[in-house]
């Protein structure tokens, strides 16, 4: 996900215990960190833009060090997980459209049956 922030990420990744899932960790990976500057009503606003990817994995001590050491492979996994989420949302939308079409066709058939 594209993020705009006033503070630059200090590290290429973070790992912390997941606040809602005991025993799990939330791993955040940052990529394409770039400064930005924007003028709004004679005021210059500056900050950072970057892509943030998240993974939920089992928590263990030194997880952050392991992720940092193998950053590229973790980033690849996080991007793949994000792509899967996108595909799932597309499938859900397609299923919803199909369901709507079926209901519409059933309604039309009922009207035809009633008119004969």
Whole-model pTM: value is 0.64
Asked whether 4 and 48 are in contact (CB, 8 A), the reply is yes
Please, are residues 2 and 33 in contact by the beta-carbon 8 Å criterion? no
Does an H or E element contain 79, and which? helix 71-115
Residue 67 burial (C-beta neighbours within 10 Å; 0-12, 13-18, 19+): buried
pLDDT in tens, the chain (116 residues): 788 887 888 889 889 999 889 999 999 999 988 898 888 788 888 899 988 998 888 999 899 899 889 989 888 888 888 766 656 666 676 677 677 777 777 877 888 888 76
- pLDDT value for 89: 64
| pLDDT confidence of residue 113 | 83
Looking at residue 88, its pLDDT comes to 63
């Amino acid at each position: 996900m594209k993020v705009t922030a006033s503070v630059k990420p200090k590290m290429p990744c973070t790992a912390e215990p997941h606040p809602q899932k005991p025993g799990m960790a939330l791993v955040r990976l940052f990529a394409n960190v770039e400064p930005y500057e924007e003028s709004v009503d004679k005021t210059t606003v500056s900050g950072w833009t970057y892509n943030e990817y998240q993974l939920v994995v089992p928590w263990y001590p030194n997880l952050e060090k392991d992720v940092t050491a193998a950053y590229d492979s973790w980033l690849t996994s996080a991007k793949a997980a994000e792509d899967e989420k996108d595909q799932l949302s597309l499938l859900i939308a397609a299923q919803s459209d199909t369901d709507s079409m079926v209901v519409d066709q059933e309604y039309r058939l009922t009207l035809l049956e009633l008119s004969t």
